[in-house]
A and B are shown apart, each in its own frame.
Chain A
C-alpha cells in the first residue's frame, strides 16, 4: 500500500516536473547590447539580441533566407512602389495591436537624425497607409534589394513610444537616453523582463506570440550575462554556469571541445575586420604631422597596408582561424572575387613608399581599437602597432570597451585618426559595403559608415547604378569595377574574416547563423 502511494507520488512528480519544468537559457557574450533602443546602433550583437524581442516586416531563417514576419506577403506593384500586407492579430508585449500606423511611425523614427539605421530606408521616399493592414513604400529609384536588410529594421509601437516619450531614437554616442533605452516593447517570441546594463538582461517567453503554433524552441526564460574576460567566459561555460557562450577565444577552442559536456560550433563568418584611416580632415586629430594629413596620400595608405604581416596575425593571434582578405567583403557576400590578392607584405616596399611620400622617418598617429567586440581585437591592434613600428610609423594604441569605442569613432563624433572595425553587410550584397563604407558621406545615409571619408565620385555613380540595375550580369560587372577602384586606391586596410566560435553545452542545441546573430527561437534544451 505504502509502496503504491509512493509510486503514484513519484509518477505525479515526474509528470508535473516534465510539463512545468522551466527551461532557462543562460548565455554569455563578450560585451553587452549597447541599448534596448533598436535604432541606437547598427551593430550585429545589439541588433541580433533585440531581434528576439522585436520583430521586423521580414525575418531570416537560420540559413539566412528571408521569410515573412510582420508582413505576410509583399509585391512590387510598380518598380518604385512596393506593397506590404501586414499580419493581422499581432499584439505588442504591452497588449497594443500591431497596425499600419506602427510601420509608418517606425519609418519616421528610423530615418530621424539620431538613428543609426538610416540606411535601412535610404531609398524610401514615403510610406503610404492604404488601410490598417496594407502599406505602400515609394522609393526614389527602383531598388531590387530594398528589403535585404529589413530583417533588422524592427517595428516599434507608435502608441507605446509616444506615451513614454521615446519618439526620437537614442543616438549612437549614447548621451541622450530615453524610455526605450532600458525598456522594450516588441512583438517577438520573447519579452524583456529586466535590464541592468553590463550586468544582466532577463527575458521570458511571450505566450501570445503569433507564431507560437510553429515554435521550435522550448524555452521559458533567457538570462544574458555579458562576460568581458575571455577566461572567465570559458570557465563559466565549462563549469555549467552558462549554457552557451560566445565567442570562444581561439586559444581555448581545444579545451572547450575536449570537455565531454561542451563543444565548439565553428563556422565562417561574413564579417570583415579592417583598419580605417581619416582621409577627410586636413590635419589629423592624433598625429605629430601638422598642417597636412598623410592619409590623403594613397602611397602612405599602401605603405601601411604592406607593413601588415597578415599571415603572422593569422598564425599567432588567430591560431589559423581567420581568412586573410584582400577585399572588404568575405566569401559568401555577393560580389566576392577569390582571384583578387592582397598587396604583398613587404616592409621594404612600405618604407620606400613612405620615403617617396615625404615621410622617410615615418610619423606618429593614434589607433583606436575595441577590446571586447571582435575575436582578439586588442591583440590584433597590438600586433599591428609592432608591425608598423618596424617601418617607422609609431601608433599610439587606445583600446577600450566597445561602448566607449563606438561612441568615439562612429558618426557624429569621428574622434579618431585610425580605427579597427568589423563589418558584415546585412544584405549579403556588395552594394551595402560600396554604398555604406565607400560612398562620399552625406546626410541621406550614404557613406554613413565611411568614417574615413574616402570619396570617389565614380564609385558613387557606380553605387547608384548597382542599386537600381536589374540585369545581374551588368550589375556584377559594375560591382567588379567598383571594387577594383577602391582596392587600387587603398580605401581601407582589410585584414581578415574571422571564424565564428560558439561554445555550447551538450544538452543545448542551437542554430549558428553565418552573420553571428543568435536567435533564441531555434534553441532547444534537453
Chain B
C-alpha cells in the first residue's frame, strides 16, 4: 500500500509544479480531510479531546512569555515574601497568583507554562535526536545485513537490556563529570536531550530494521538497485518513506516517554538547574511540602505533567491504530 502511494505521488509531481502554492496547500488539505486517517480521527472523541489538550498545552508553552505575569526563570522577578501564597480560591489567595506560589515566591501558573516549555523542548529534541539516530542505524542494519547488522543490533540488544532511565542517568552523570561545572547550567538542557536521546534510539532502530528487511526484497528496491542507484540513495529515497509509518507511532509515544524521563531526571535533581525549573523540578520542589499542607506546589505541576503525557499517549495510541491496516 505504501509503495503504491509513493508511486502515485511521484506521478503527480508533474502536476504539482503547475499549481500555485495556495492551491497546493488547499489540495493537500482536501486530500487530508478526505483520507481515512482523518476519518478515524474524527470518529474517535477521545482522540479529539486528547489532540485539543495537547494543542492547548503546546500553544500555552510556546506563548508563555506573553500570557504569564512573571518570568520565573529570572530570579530578580521573584519576591520571597510572596512565597507559599495559596491558589486564588483558597484563604489568603490572590488574583496575582492564580495557582498560588512555591517556596521561592514563583507564580505557579507562570512556572508551569515555562516548565512545560523546558519539558516539551527536551521531549521533542530528544525524540528527534533518537529518531535520526535510530532510523539511520536501523536502515543501515536492515539494508546492509551481515556484519554491520550484527554489530548494530547487538549493541542495541545490550542497551535494551538496561532500563532507559538508567542509561540516561549514566550518560548524564558522565557528561556532568566531563563538562566544566561553571558552564554546566547553560548546557544542562542539551545534556538532557543527549542522554534521553541516546537512551531511546533502540526502539526506532529495531522497528526500522525489521521493516527495511521486508522492503529491501520488494521489486521496486530491486529495480532501483538494477538501474544502479547508490545504496544510500536507495535507503533514503525508496526504503525510508515506506518504513516511516511505524516510526511516527513510536515517535509520538516516545515523546510522552521522553517528557516523563526528563521529569524523572529533574525530579532526581540531575536535570535542569533548580533556578530554571521544568515540570519535574517543580514536582521535586513541591514534594518537600506534601506534609505541611502546601499541596498546590506539587499538585498543579503534577497534574499538568499527567495531562500532557496522557494526551500525547492517547494520540500515539490512536495513530498506531489508524496507520495499522490490520486493525481497521
Main secondary structure of the interface of B (DSSP, over half): loop
- Bound Cα distance A230, B79 (Å): 24
Is B54 an interface position by the 8 A CB rule? no
Query: Are B76 and A386 in contact (CB-based, < 8 A)?
Result: yes
Is A357 an interface position by the 8 A CB rule? no
- Bound Cα distance A390, B269 (Å): 26
Question: Looking at the complex, which one of B84, B105, B184, B291 makes contact with A231 (CB distance below 8 Å)?
Answer: B291
- Minimum Cβ distance to chain A for residue B284 (Å): 9
- Between-chain CB contacts (< 8 Å), 23 pairs: A229-B288, A230-B288, A235-B291, A238-B291, A251-B291, A251-B292, A252-B291, A309-B81, A312-B80, A316-B81, A316-B83, A379-B103, A379-B104, A382-B275, A383-B104, A385-B75, A386-B75, A386-B78, A386-B79, A388-B75, A396-B185, A397-B185, A397-B273
Residue-wise interface mask of B (81-119) relative to A, using a CB-CB cutoff of 8 A (1 in contact, 0 not): 101100000000000000000011100000000000000
Residue-wise interface mask of A (294-329) relative to B, using a CB-CB cutoff of 8 A (1 in contact, 0 not): 000000000000000100110111000000000000
A-B interface, 5 closest residue pairs, ranked by CB to CB distance from nearest:
A389-B76, A251-B292, A386-B75, A389-B75, A316-B83
Is A366 an interface position by the 8 A CB rule? yes
Residue-wise interface mask of B (272-300) relative to A, using a CB-CB cutoff of 8 A (1 in contact, 0 not): 01110000000000011111111000000
**With A309-B80, A316-B80: A385-B275 Cβ-Cβ less than 8 Å:** yes
Residues of A within 8 A of B273 (CB): 397
Enumerate B246-277 residues with CB–CB distance to A below 8 Å.
269, 273-275
- Bound Cα distance A382, B273 (Å): 11
Is A206 an interface position by the 8 A CB rule? no
- Minimum Cβ distance to chain A for residue B273 (Å): 7
Query: Are A317 and B103 in contact (CB-based, < 8 A)?
Result: yes
- Minimum Cβ distance to chain B for residue A504 (Å): 17
Residues of B within 8 A of A230 (CB): 288
**With A396-B182, A399-B274: A231-B288 Cβ-Cβ less than 8 Å:** yes
- Of chain A, the residue at the smallest CB distance from B180 is A286
Query: Are B182 and A254 in contact (CB-based, < 8 A)?
Result: no
- Bound Cα distance A382, B105 (Å): 11
Query: Are B80 and A386 in contact (CB-based, < 8 A)?
Result: yes
Query: Are B275 and A397 in contact (CB-based, < 8 A)?
Result: yes
- Bound Cα distance A378, B273 (Å): 12
- Bound Cα distance A234, B84 (Å): 20
Residues of A within 8 A of B76 (CB): 386, 389-390
Residues of B within 8 A of A447 (CB): none
Question: Looking at the complex, which one of B84, B185, B274 makes contact with A316 (CB distance below 8 Å)?
Answer: B84
Chain A contact residues, CB within 8 Å of chain B: 229-231, 234-235, 238, 249, 251-252, 254-255, 285-286, 309, 312-313, 315-317, 366, 371, 378-379, 382-383, 385-390, 394-399
Query: Are B105 and A386 in contact (CB-based, < 8 A)?
Result: yes
Residues of A within 8 A of B79 (CB): 386
Residue-wise interface mask of B (42-81) relative to A, using a CB-CB cutoff of 8 A (1 in contact, 0 not): 0000000000000000000000000000000011101111
- Bound Cα distance A395, B269 (Å): 19
Residues of B within 8 A of A285 (CB): 182
- Minimum Cβ distance to chain B for residue A257 (Å): 12
Question: Looking at the complex, which one of A231, A309, A315, A397 makes contact with B287 (CB distance below 8 Å)?
Answer: A231
- Bound Cα distance A234, B327 (Å): 50
Question: Looking at the complex, which one of B104, B182, B269, B294 makes contact with A286 (CB distance below 8 Å)?
Answer: B182
Query: Are A366 and B292 in contact (CB-based, < 8 A)?
Result: no
- Of chain A, the residue at the smallest CB distance from B104 is A382
- Minimum Cβ distance to chain A for residue B216 (Å): 51
Query: Are A255 and B291 in contact (CB-based, < 8 A)?
Result: yes
Query: Are A316 and B288 in contact (CB-based, < 8 A)?
Result: no
**With A317-B103, A389-B74: A398-B288 Cβ-Cβ less than 8 Å:** no
Inter-chain pairs besides A285-B182, A382-B75, A386-B76, 11 sampled, C-beta below 8 Å: A231-B290, A316-B81, A316-B84, A316-B103, A317-B103, A378-B274, A383-B80, A385-B75, A386-B104, A389-B76, A399-B274
**With A255-B291, A385-B75, A397-B273: A315-B182 Cβ-Cβ less than 8 Å:** no
Is B181 an interface position by the 8 A CB rule? yes
Residue-wise interface mask of B (232-256) relative to A, using a CB-CB cutoff of 8 A (1 in contact, 0 not): 0000000000000000000000000
Question: Looking at the complex, which one of B74, B184, B289 makes contact with A251 (CB distance below 8 Å)?
Answer: B289
Question: Looking at the complex, which one of A231, A387, A397 makes contact with B274 (CB distance below 8 Å)?
Answer: A397
Query: Are B291 and A366 in contact (CB-based, < 8 A)?
Result: no
Residues of A within 8 A of B293 (CB): 255
- Minimum Cβ distance to chain B for residue A475 (Å): 40
- Of chain A, the residue at the smallest CB distance from B286 is A231
Query: Are B292 and A398 in contact (CB-based, < 8 A)?
Result: no
Enumerate B281-328 residues with CB–CB distance to A below 8 Å.
287-294
Residues of B within 8 A of A309 (CB): 80-81
- Of chain B, the residue at the smallest CB distance from A232 is B287
- Bound Cα distance A370, B274 (Å): 13
- Bound Cα distance A317, B75 (Å): 16
Residues of A within 8 A of B274 (CB): 378, 382, 397, 399
- Bound Cα distance A395, B275 (Å): 10
Residues of B within 8 A of A382 (CB): 75, 104, 274-275
- Bound Cα distance A235, B290 (Å): 10
Residues of B within 8 A of A383 (CB): 80, 104
Residues of A within 8 A of B105 (CB): 316, 386
- Minimum Cβ distance to chain A for residue B169 (Å): 15
- Bound Cα distance A255, B288 (Å): 13
- Minimum Cβ distance to chain A for residue B205 (Å): 35
Query: Are B80 and A317 in contact (CB-based, < 8 A)?
Result: yes
- Minimum Cβ distance to chain A for residue B173 (Å): 12
- Bound Cα distance A371, B185 (Å): 16
Residue-wise interface mask of B (200-234) relative to A, using a CB-CB cutoff of 8 A (1 in contact, 0 not): 00000000000000000000000000000000000
- Minimum Cβ distance to chain B for residue A412 (Å): 18
**With A382-B104, A386-B75: A249-B81 Cβ-Cβ less than 8 Å:** no
- Of chain B, the residue at the smallest CB distance from A368 is B181
